[in-house]
Amino acid sequence: MPRARHQPSGFTLVELLVVIAIIGVLIGLLLPAVQAAREASRRAACLSKVKQLALANLNFENQSKHFPPGSQENVFPKNAASRDPASGPFIVGTSWIVFVLPLLEEQSLYDRYDFNVRFDHANNAAVGNTVVNTLFCPSGPTPLEYRDPNPGGVNGNPSTHYYGVMGPGGATDNFQITIGGQTFTYRLGNGSSNGAFSGHGILTQMKDQAGSITTGRLVKMSQITDGTSKTFLLGERSVRLPSGTSNSYRSWIRGQTGGCGATKNLRYPLNSTNYTANNFNDISFGSQHPGGALFGMADGSARFVNESIALDILRAVASMGSGEVAQLE
Amino acid sequence: MIAMLLVAMLTPLGSGCGKSTGSRVFGTVAFDGKPVAGGKIYFTPNAAKGNSGPSGFADITNGRYDTAAAGGRNVQPGPTILAVDGVEPLDESEQTPDVTQRPLFQTHTESLEVPPTELQHDIAVPAAAKPVSAGRGI
Residue B102: CB atoms within 10 Å: 20
Asked if A319 contacts A167 with a C-beta cutoff of 8 angstroms, the reply is yes
Domain positions in chain A are 37-77+86-318
- pLDDT confidence bin for B67, thresholds 50/70/90: very high
Rounded CA separation A27/A30 (Å)? 5
Question: What is the pLDDT, as a whole number, of residue A229?
Answer: 94
Cβ proximity of A46 and A53 under 8 Å? no
Inform me whether the pLDDT recorded for B136 exceeds 60: no
Secondary structure in 3-state letters for B71-122: CCECECCEEEEEEEEEEEECCHHHCCCCCCEEECCCCEEEEEEECCCEEECC
Which domains are present in chain B? 21-125 (2.60.40.10)
Tens digit of each residue's pLDDT, chain A (329 residues): 555 566 667 889 999 999 999 999 999 999 999 999 999 999 999 999 999 999 999 999 999 999 999 999 877 765 555 555 555 667 888 999 999 999 999 999 999 999 888 899 999 999 999 999 999 999 999 999 999 999 999 999 999 999 999 999 998 899 999 888 889 999 999 887 888 999 999 999 998 888 889 999 999 999 999 999 999 999 999 999 998 888 899 999 999 988 899 999 999 999 999 999 889 999 999 999 999 999 999 999 999 999 999 999 999 999 999 999 888 87
Three-state DSSP string of A106-129: CHHHHHHCCCCCCCCCHHHHHHHC
Q: What is the pLDDT of residue A327?
A: 83
Cα separation of A303 and A236, whole Å? Answer: 11
- Shortest CB distance from A276 goes to which of B39, B134, B136? B39
Average pLDDT for B48-77: 93
Q: Examine the pLDDT at B124 and tell me if it is beyond 90.
A: yes
Contact list, B39 vs chain A (CB under 8 Å)? 276
State the best of A22, A276, A279 to mutate against chain B, taking most chain B CBs within 10 Å: A276
Q: B111 pLDDT exceeds 90?
A: yes
**A window 40-99, beta carbon within 8 A of B:** none
Q: Of B5, B98, B134, which is closest to A20 when you measure between CB atoms?
A: B5
Q: Which amino acid is at B62?
A: N
Q: Do A192 and B137 touch (CB under 8 A)?
A: no
- In order of A174, A265, B25, B43, the CA distances from B66 in angstroms are 31, 26, 6, 12
How do beta strands A162-168 and A263-266 pair? parallel
CA–CA gap between residue A313 and residue A311 (Å, rounded):
5
The span from the CA of A131 to the CA of A159, in Å, is 8
Whole-number Cα distances in Å, A290 to A135, A140, A232, A284: 20, 12, 20, 16
**Would you call A268 and B45 a contact, using CB atoms and an 8 Å cutoff?**
no
Residue of B nearest to A280 (CA): B138
Nearest-Cα residue of chain A relative to residue B57: A272
Residues with Cβ < 8 Å from A5, sequence gap 6 or more?
Answer: none
- Integer Cα distance of B6 and B10 in angstroms: 6
The CA distance from B138 to B131, in Å, is 20
Contact A28 B10 (CB under 8 A): yes
Instruction: Determine contact, residues A88/A222, Cβ cutoff 8 Å.
Output: no
3-state secondary structure of A20: helix
Answer whether A316's CB lies under 8 Å from A230's CB.
no
Interatomic CA distance for residues B8 and A26, integer angstroms: 9
CA distances to A117, A256, A286, A300, B138 from A86, rounded to whole Å, are 19, 21, 41, 42, 23
pLDDT for A243 equals 86
A129-156 b/e (C-beta count within 10 Å ≥ 16 → b): bbebebbbbbbbbebeebbbbbebbbbe
> Which of A266, A106, A275 has its CA nearest to residue A177?
A266
Check residue B14 and give its pLDDT: 42
> Could you tell me the maximum CA-CA distance found in chain B, to the nearest angstrom?
64
Provide the chain A residues 150-209 that lie in CB contact (below 8 A) with chain B. 150-151, 171, 178, 192-195
Closest to A252 in 3D by CA, of A163, A165, A167 = A163
